[in-house]
Amino acid sequence: MPEIRKKIELLQKIAHRFNEANIEWALGASMLLYFKGIISEFHDIDLMVSVHDAEQVRTILSEMGELHAPASASDPMYRTKVFMEFTIDSVDIDVMAGFSIVSEGKVYDCSLDKEQIVERMTLGTEIVPLQSLRLWCKYYRLMGRNKKADMIENNCK
Quote the pLDDT of residue 73.
Answer: 46
Across all residues in the chain, what is the average pLDDT? Answer: 92
d(CA 93, CA 85): 6
Give this prediction's pTM: 0.92
pLDDT tens digits along 49-80: 999 999 999 999 999 999 987 654 466 667 78
What are the tens digits of pLDDT across the range 76-99? 667 788 999 999 999 999 999 999
Could you read off the pLDDT of 10-19 as tens digits, one per residue? 999 999 999 9
What is the widest separation between alpha-carbon atoms in the chain? 44
Domain ranges of the chain: 2-150
Fold assignment, 2-150: Beta Polymerase; domain 2 (3.30.460)
Q: Which residues, listed in sequence order, are joined to residue 127 by a DSSP beta bridge?
A: 122
What residues have CB less than 8 Å from 48, skipping those under 6 apart?
25, 26, 27, 28, 96, 97, 99, 112, 131
Q: Report the number of secondary-structure helices (H) and strands (E) in the chain.
A: 5, 9
**Dihedral pair phi/psi, residue 124, rounded to 5°:** 65, -120
Q: How far apart are CA 92 and CA 118, in angstroms?
A: 25
